[in-house]
Structure 1
Amino acid sequence: MLATLARTATQHPRTVILTWLLFLVLGLGFGTRVFGDLTSSVEDVPGSESVLAEERLAELTPDGDDFSAVVSAPSIDTPQLRAQVGEAVADVRKQPGIAQVPDPYTTRGLAAQDGKALLIPVVLKGGLDDDAEEEAVGDAADRLREISAGEVAVSGGPLLGEQMGTRAQEDVAQAELITLPAVLIVLLLIFGGLRAAGLPLLVTVSGVAGAFLTLYGFSQFTEISVYAVQIVTMLGLGLAVDYALLMVIRFREERGKTQDVAQAVHATVARAGRTVLFSGLTVAISLSGLVWFPSAFLRSMGLAAGAVVVVDMLAALTLLPALLALFGGKIAPSGAKSRTRGGAWRIGRRSENATAPEPAPGAFFARLALFSARRPLVVSAAVVAVLAVLALPVLGMRINIGDARQLPHDTEARQLYDTVREHYPAGTDTDPVQVLIGSGADPDCEDKIRALPGIRAADRERLSDGTVLLELTPNGTVDGPTATRIVERVRDLRGDEPIQVTGNAASLVDFRSMLAERAPWAVLTVLVGLFALLFAFTGSLLLPLRTLATTLLSLGASLGIVVWVFQDGHGASLLGGEGLGALSLTAPPLIIAIAFGLAMDYELFILSRMRETWLETGDHRAATVEGLRRSGRVVSCAALLLAIVFGGFMTGGFSPILQIGLGLTLAVLIDATVVRMFLVPATMTLLGRRAWWAPPRLRKIHQRYGLHEAPSAAPAPQAPETPETPVRQAPPSP
């Protein structure tokens, strides 16, 4: 397959490029239509009790969603403010889709006791379709913002989700403006030339455009979360740069061996292309676990991320070789002198297979490997201990839906939240736990529910079919531990009675239950798929196990730091956030899925080089040292570029994006430095020749059907049970 792709790229490069150009136009033209079909809801689980009860409640009540405006002023009793508020309330009441707007001056509890704030709740009519609701909310909010005699902030209900989604997209756009120039500068430093540096960016644009087109196709059959766009951008940029970096560096190596551009492209696709293929498949499998979850948010994340991975992989294996076939002759091979003033930091100035001494960067990574290989037990124990300590906060990790505190203080939703907190009693804007008690339920059930601890207030309403609606206002936040405990207690004590619970806290409880129920299957799918792919890549049974274990360590450490910062509040303010007592429920699943896939990405970069030396020499120590020497610089530069990409997403102020950005940045840096540079060579030394072991039958299957980087490579030598030989540095490959 790889040989066919290479032949197509070298024989018909213009056709391949034009095909991708058409794909790019379609992606940017039609694919971006997905922006009009995005949903900002992340906590709903289809078929769950909270969703079913919410649908039943919508049928039994004439009113729909609601939102609020808060007006603050030195005094709310000025004639000018009274007149403007009265006119605005009257105008909003007349607008289509509005059910009721109480007078904040005459309705109890809406005027702050300190006389400095007014709360204006707006209730929509029930049964509105999405377009009608959006129009009604927009018109009413705009009219309330026209009150000029005081400071006005409008949010809540459907507006809060919209504002969060808008802020997330703004943060991503800002991150792109920062990261793209930074990535280009680093690529120029790496390659020392604009042509070579520009190729990864071309692959990136094509990959993201293709992913948008794929998402648009998915949106015709399922809901796509607004956060899917952020993941497509973040992951698409990072992986495209990674794959293109690996391919271009390998092409420059091959150009150092031959003047024939086509031959260099064929060798590049045959060797580095194999790594890109397996890497893309491993990342896609790591993300496929998200598809197991019925949540539209998680499922769309899996589809979005999987789409961009596959498109990036295909672009690296088809578009990039075609570009190299046309323009590769103008890209300086490894070892060529820099033509830039003052030189440039170039990866692989010499062919990595040359017999001349390696430049300093290669020798540095070889020394790191030797350091770990000479004291494998000490290094392994130290690294594992440090990573385990960093991962400890994960044991206390909590997730919640979140509220306006996730947004920066300069946003409208956060201003409303802060104003209400400042001028009104606690719990004023806390969404209640809603309990539907059927007409045939035991009358004592209502009394037992009211008597539950942690309830600040309980309001009762009888609905049209005799169902009693209890609205329980909990102590604390809307989805805090008290609120979720009330939901669980109600469900525990109801027995077989016709009682249902809904509301934000119930949605969070159902989301957690969904995670607990489906997560084992998702994890099993990912681990089995990755184990099979890693065996196909290495021909070993032990290496996949070692790889999965070291990857989980680095993932746990990065997630633990995120918990320590954003849940416990240590240093969150330095990143523009604050400690919220829990992580956003969007962050942990995405950090785990994406970081796990990226860690496997770097592992394959290193294993591919180790395997090359192992096949050439049969010396496991030479394979470890030489593999890290050859791949260390590629992995380090790829990690640097990805860290820039993910770090750019920490320049905004939306807490979920900050959490995801920090988690992925840490995961990349920890994995590419501590794990791959120290723990991997140490554990490879401890395993010795057994690292490449497989039962004879499986080894024959791999030799016959496995996808090999070099067709002429001899089968790996069998590992005899012999004492270990002294540590030595592997000689350069011939």
Structure 2
Amino acid sequence: MPDALDPDAPDPDASHPDRSRSALSRLGAGLGHHPGRVVVTWVLLVLLGFAAASGAFGNERLFDRLSTGEPTVPGENETGRDLIADAGSSGFQTITVRVDGVQVASPAVAAAAREAAQQVGALPGVTQVASPFVVPGGLESPAATTMLKGGSAGSDGYVTVATVGDLPDDAAYHALEDRVTDTVRAATAGSGATVTAGGVRDLVDAITGQLEVDLRTGEGIALPVSFIVMVIVFGGFIAAGMPIAGAIASIAGALASLLGFSYLIDLDTTAVNVVTVLGLGLCIDYGLLVVSRFREELRSRAAGMPVAQIPREMVVDATARTVDSAGRTVVFSGLTVAISLGGLLVFQSPLMKGIGAAGVSVVVIAVLVALTLVPALCVLGARRLLRKGTESAPEHGVFSRLAQWVHRFPIPIIAVVASALLALAAPALDLRLTSSGAQLLPVSAPERVFFDGLAKDYPVLGGADVTVVAEAPLEQAQRYAADLRLPQGSRVLDVKTLQGSESMVRIDVPGGPLEQPARDVVDQLRHERPAFQTYVVGQASGLKDFTDSMWERAPYAFALVALATLVLLFLMTGSVVIPVKALLLNVVSLGASLGIVVLVFQKGHLEGLLGFDSVGAVESTIPLLVLAFGFGLSMDYEVFLLSRIVELHERGYSNDDAVVVGLQRSGRIITSAALLVVIVFSGFVAGQLLIIKQTGVGLATAVALDATLVRMLLVPATMTLLGDWNWWAPRRLRGLHARFGITE
């Protein structure tokens, strides 16, 4: 086998086809002639994007248009919740005021509480007030004990619950909440009472606000650290600044895109963080690739010429070639990422559809930035990029030696690496899903403290663990509730008329609304139906609907993504073996990253180091997000590496030689890009929201595993083992590739 690195190896440019008339080449030439116009246009677009997202044009701020809550899908739980909301019994319509530090049995406390309830009920916007001191039957009645701390009249606390009507916006709700709280505080003044208030809307606002803080924290960590790393990688501030400039443009574009989507679909708070981070990571990846290729192309043309003497036309030619070569890699990569995110559109969950649609739009922005803004910046800083000289980098290096070492021991390397990845993936078989509410916030957050305290001191008031909405009158629903054979420890709290002929049966289950007993009760109630229509509602019910829908749609999503990826890689490589192998390796590495998420967050490892409290499960959206985004990013690096190997193979290099040279030329880019993306995702691990930490750890792990064990070891080892079989395709498909394939 000839050595690809010796003088007799194929000339890299000898068989290079003339692509000067390709669309990307013409785009590059245009950028080379007019870089200033392109940069000014992007600066204006970036300013407009940030301004629009911040509400500078009189529109709502992006973060004010976000929603949060458990992921929903059309189904029984959603239908039942809609019926409850239509009846005015939604948690979004209540304000709960806690009064602590008083003697509930004191006549003075009772008088002050009754006065407070009367005054609160008179406030505009309040439709109903519940207090243990105004219900029939006194403090010993069942209705009163639910509002007494510990359910006892001998306790030192009680709550007043105000139900509010339709309000124009959140600002009106919070203004009314302040008035309700002040009214209760004034009525109990002088008694030494401590008065606190909260509601579901407060929890939603806290999660949304924390997301905004986490986003700024992540960017504040990721951008400076990424810049420092790129200064080291590129050896200069100018080259390092170009991908960062592209990343900033991507953030602006992502925020503007998400603002637009918020008017079309409901966007969850997590969508902003995940999608923005994706755009940030992709732009850094693509910027690194484009800047490196531009340097390489310009150096190959200057060939030792003094930097100051490089003519303008040479810069234009290098730009055209860069956009044509690296640009096609970027387009292929963007397509693979967009395909993986497009798989989310198959699922029924509006959250998943929203993330998928918004994610695809952000990928488009990242590709546009890489094809236009970054090359234009390269043109403006061309001579500064080559300040260390115009000599081409040597073909010998760390990555070529690594590839040659892998060539000598392919089978042991495959066995060891594959075994390690499968061992890491094993914990994923024990995956347990949940859908946290207040638990998303850190334990010290005021809103979580309020809700945790409410669940502890007023377990019934905090909401039933499971609710059955029955299309039956009260008497019939009461007979149904009396006949229920619930597991030991579970009990019917009450049966109420919802509206008209609809009733509601509220059930308390030991362990909380998402623990196994609640899940078992949901299964039982859905299996043992009465003669009339019922809807089982609650967090466990919603989680069941979501997971059932996820498992039902997952095969279709996987088939769509896999088929599209196989076709795309076939058009790129002309092989059916390489695409199938890439798909299998990605599945193994993603399984390993999901297994690490289970170990860390479900099993509770690294709680202290990462600053979280395990809830014994993984958020229900995390597997889909890690698999979709992780698959896209993994294929991103696959395209980076394969584009070089295919390019060299088409120029006459043997299979092994193409892998050695391809890994040498792309290994530094892949490793640097992966390191930067890991930094980006690790920055968001520093956030406070649990779901954001899980996403950050999952994706950072997926990228790290893929760029090291898979891309640097498994890919060259399997390509060595398969040899020329890597490039095999049936005769008919070879004909199709010759006609429709996208080649160098």
TM-fit CA distance, 1:10:
1.7
Query: Is 1:515 aligned to residue 550 of structure 2?
Result: yes
- 8 A contact 1:390–1:561 mirrored in 2: yes
Counterpart CA distance in 1 for 2:224 and 2:107 is 54
Q: Which position in structure 1 is the counterpart of 2:335?
A: 281
Give the residue type in structure 1 aligned to 2:249: S
| SS of equivalent residue, structure 1 residue 643 | helix
User: 1:351 corresponds to which residue?
Assistant: 392
Q: Which residue of structure 1 aligns with residue 24 of structure 2?
A: 2
Which whole-Å CA distance do the structure 2 matches of 1:487 and 1:601 have between them?
42
Instruction: Please name the residue that 2:466 is paired with.
Output: 433
Counting only pairs closer than 5 Å after superposition, residues 24-63 of structure 1 correspond to structure 2 as 24-32=46-54, 33-45=61-73, 47-61=74-88
Q: Residues 89 and 366 from structure 1, CA distance in 2 versus in 1: closer, same or farther, beyond 3 angstroms? A: farther
The separation in 1 between residues aligned to 2:112 and 2:206, in whole angstroms, is 25
Native 8 Å contact 1:567 1:579 kept in 2: yes
Deviations 1:218-272 (A, max 9, x none): 2222212222211232111111100000110111111211241111111211211
Q: Structure 1 vs Structure 2: percent identity of aligned residues?
A: 37
Is 1:125 matched with 2:164?
A: yes
Matched, 1:110 2:137: no
Give the superposition deviation at 1:216.
2.5
Shift in alpha-carbon separation, 1:204–1:269, aligned structure 2, 3 A = same
- Do the aligned partners of residues 153 and 708 (structure 1) sit closer, same or farther apart at CA in structure 2, a change above 3 Å counting? farther
Residue in structure 2 matched with residue 386 of structure 1 by the alignment: 420
What CA deviation, in whole Å up to 9, does each residue of 1:622-652 have, x standing for no partner? 1222221211111111111111111111112
TM-score with structure 1 length normalisation?
Answer: 0.87
Q: Which residue of 1 aligns with 2:19?
A: none
Contact 2:25/2:321 (8 A) holds in 1: no
Distance 2:633 2:156 in 1: 50
Evaluate the alpha carbon distance shift between residue 265 and residue 83 of structure 1 in structure 2; reply closer, same or farther with a 3 A threshold. farther
Residue 294 of structure 1 aligns to a residue whose secondary structure is: coil
* Structure 1: distance between partners of 2:521 and 2:86: 25
2-side partners of 1:57 and 1:219: how far apart? 26
CA distance in 1, matches of 2:508, 2:86: 23
1:184-333 counterparts in 2 under 5 A? 184-258=227-301, 259=310, 260-332=314-386
* 3-state DSSP of counterpart to 1:540: coil
Structure 1 position 126, deviation (Å): 5.2
2:85 alignment partner AA: A
Q: How does 1:568-587 map to 2 (within 5 A)?
A: 568-587=603-622
Task: Indicate whether 1:461 and 2:459 are aligned.
Answer: no
Measure how far apart 1:450 and its partner are.
4.9
Deviations, residues 258-309 of structure 1 (Å, cap 9, x unaligned): 2411111112112111111101110111111111223221111112221111
Do 1:63 and 1:124's aligned partners in 2 also have CA atoms closer than 8 Å?
no
Q: Which amino acid aligns with 1:159?
A: D
Aligned to 2:440: 406
Q: Which residue of 2 aligns with 1:366?
A: 400
Residues 143 and 43 from structure 1, CA distance in 2 versus in 1: closer, same or farther, beyond 3 angstroms? farther
Q: CA deviation at 1:471?
A: 0.5
Superposition deviation, residue 366 in structure 1: 2.0
Task: Tell me if the contact between 2:84 and 2:90 (Cα under 8 Å) persists in the aligned partners.
Answer: no
Q: Does 1:12 align with 2:66?
A: no
CA RMSD of aligned residues (A): 3.0
- Give 1:513 shift: 1.8
Give the match's secondary structure for 2:147.
coil
The alpha-carbon distance between structure 1 residues 438 and 430, as it changes in their structure 2 partners (threshold 3 A), is closer
Q: Secondary structure at the match of 2:86?
A: helix
Name the CA distance, whole Å, in 2 between partners of 1:488 and 1:130.
37
The match for 1:99 is 127
Deviations 1:154-182 (A, max 9, x none): 44423222222221221121121122111
Residue 67 of structure 1 deviates from its aligned partner by 4.6
Judge conservation of contact 1:442–1:497 (CA < 8 Å) in 2.
Answer: no
The one-letter code matched in structure 1 to 2:126 is I
Which whole-Å deviations, capped at 9, do the CAs of 1:304-354 have from their partners, x for residues lacking one? 221111101111011112222233232216xx26xxxxxxxxxxx9634xx
Residue 421 of structure 1, CA deviation:
5.8
**C-alpha offsets along residues 61-110 of structure 1, whole Å, 9 cap, x if unaligned?**
57763353445559889999999977765554333333344336753243
In 2, Cα distance between the equivalents of 1:672 and 1:615? 24
Change (3 A) 1:205 1:554: same
1:657-668 superposed matches below 5 A: 657-668=692-703
Letter matched to residue 465 of structure 2: P
Give the counterpart letter for 1:614 in structure 2.
Answer: H
Contact 1:284-1:309 at 8 Å conserved across structures:
yes
In structure 2, relative to structure 1, the CA distance for the partners of 1:192 and 1:397 (3 Å cut) is same
3-state SS of paired residue (1:224): coil
SS in 2 for 1:229: helix
Deviations 1:139-196 (A, max 9, x none): 3576489689566554442322222222122112112112211111111111222211
Task: Specify every segment of 5 or more residues in structure 1 that has no aligned partner in the other structure, as ranges.
Answer: 338-348, 710-734
**Cα displacement string for residues 523-559 of structure 1 (whole angstroms, at most 9, x for unaligned residues):** 1111111111111221111111110111111111111
**What is the SS of the residue equivalent to 1:223?**
coil
Quote how far apart the aligned CAs of 1:414 are.
2.1
Q: Which of 200, 211, 219 is the matching residue for 1:176?
A: 219
Cα offsets for 1:656-676 (capped at 9, x unmatched): 111111111111111111111
Give 3-state SS (helix, strand or coil) of 2:484's partner: helix
User: SS of the residue aligned with 1:257?
Assistant: helix
**Paired residue for 1:702?**
737
Q: 1:418 to 1:57 in 2, by over 3 A?
A: closer
Q: Which amino acid aligns with 1:178?
A: I
> Could you tell me how far apart the structure 2 residues matched to 1:215 and 1:651 are?
23
| Aligned pairs, number | 687
Residue number in structure 2 paired with 1:680: 715
Deviations 1:395-431 (A, max 9, x none): 1112111132332122012212443466x37666354
Distance 1:540 1:271 in 2: 20
The alpha-carbon distance between structure 1 residues 63 and 242, as it changes in their structure 2 partners (threshold 3 A), is closer
- 1:638 equivalent in structure 2: 673
**Distance in 1 (alpha carbons) for counterparts of 2:321 and 2:655:** 25
Label 1:505 to 1:153 Cα distance change in 2 as closer, same or farther (>3 A).
farther
In structure 1, distance between residues paired with 2:424 and 2:102: 48
Q: Is the 8 A contact 1:70 1:120 kept in 2?
A: yes
> Quick check: 2:477–2:505 contact (8 Å CA) kept in 1?
no
* Residue type at the aligned position of 1:405: Q
Decide whether the 8 Å contact of 1:643 with 1:669 is kept in 2: yes
Label 1:400 to 1:123 Cα distance change in 2 as closer, same or farther (>3 A): farther
Give the deviation of 1:566 after TM superposition: 0.7
Question: What is the CA-CA distance between 1:136 and the residue it aligns to?
Answer: 6.0
3-state SS of paired residue (1:68):
strand
Hey, what does 1:719 align to over in structure 2? Answer: none
Q: Aligned residue for 1:717?
A: none
SS of the residue corresponding to residue 508 of structure 2 reads strand
Is the alpha carbon distance of 1:406 and 1:213 closer, same or farther for their aligned partners in structure 2, counting shifts above 3 Å? closer
- In 1, the alpha carbon distance for the partners of 2:470 and 2:168 equals 28
Task: Tell whether the 8 Å contact from 1:551 to 1:596 is kept in structure 2 after alignment.
Answer: yes
Q: Which runs of 5+ in 2 are unaligned?
A: 1-22, 55-60, 134-138, 302-309
1:487 to 515, 522, 545: 522
Whether the aligned pair in 2 keeps the contact of 1:69 and 1:120 (CA below 8 Å) is yes
Change (3 A) 1:464 1:101: closer
